[in-house]
Amino acid sequence: MQQVVRSIQIVGKNSLLNALLALYLKDCTDAECGCCATLEEALGDKRIEAETRIMLIDCFAMPKDDILLMLESSGIRQVVGRHPALFNLKAETSIEQAAIGSGIRGFFYVNDPPACLAKGVTALFSEEYWVSRKLLVDFLATPNHPVSFVTRHPELTLRESELINLLTQGLSNQAIADLLFISVATVKSHLSSVYRKIKVSNRLQAVRWAEKAT
């Protein structure tokens, strides 16, 4: 059996601090860690073929418009197999809704302690978002927000398509149940049906299937 490799790429121009952060996260998560100066360089880095790759993008002192332009021009939302997050973000920048729409899965702020970053990275490795529940629900409730899953499988019901869409956005079974006003048991039942129809056996495979079907 091929060993699953987990890797973290830290993206930013502060090479010394980012190298120290890479050492800290490697010790906390036992993941391969590396640094890249730009997002384009990180997206083009093929040295580590990983099942799960987290990208931590340094936003220190970056204005809101510059961050959004960087995300838009990189096309990061269309890249399969990356879990991008922003760190050193100022809360008053207020870019979370737009950033989630661009594919960002987590936010770490300038005053967050290192332990918070390690905990968030662990959540990202578990296919979760590191975003407050309110932010995520507000994003999903916004009309015409971008979705990761737009191609329906002919055998999936509308509800099953809705569930797999929420899976690709990193929601847990409990969060999906709360959002759709159904029980966790019902969520699990629907997901079992989805897995059978698209011929996968778990949550990660379903997300990979949805990303390829988009």
pTM over 0.75: no
Residue 100, class by beta-carbon neighbours within 10 Å (0-12 exposed, 13-18 middle, 19+ buried)? buried
For 135-164, write each residue's pLDDT tens digit.
Answer: 766 666 665 444 444 445 677 887 788 788
Is the domain of 171 the same as that of 119? no
- In angstroms, the CA 175 to CA 54 distance is 22
Same domain, 15 and 98: yes
Domain identity same for 161 and 196: yes
Residues 96 and 38 in one domain: yes
73 and 120, same domain (yes or no): yes
Distance of CA 74 to the CA centre of its chain: 16
Alpha-carbon distances, residue 167 vs 28, 97, 110, 128, 171 (angstroms): 27, 18, 29, 9, 6
- Tens of pLDDT, residue by residue over 3-36, are 557 889 999 999 999 999 999 999 999 999 999 9
Q: What is the mean pLDDT of residues 118-125?
A: 91
- Cα-based distances in Å from 201 to 128, 161, 170, 209: 18, 17, 17, 11
19 and 89 fall within a common domain: yes
Q: What is the pLDDT of residue 151?
A: 47
For 165-187, what is the mean pLDDT?
79
Q: How far apart are CA 23 and CA 32, in angstroms?
A: 10
CATH number of residue 13's parent domain: 3.40.50.2300
Give a yes or no: residue 200 inside a domain: yes
Q: What is the mean pLDDT of residues 179-198?
A: 86
Q: Which of 76, 103, 131 is the last residue of a domain?
A: 131
- Domain of 53 in residue numbering reads as 6-131
Q: Count helices and strands (H / E) in the chain.
A: 10, 5
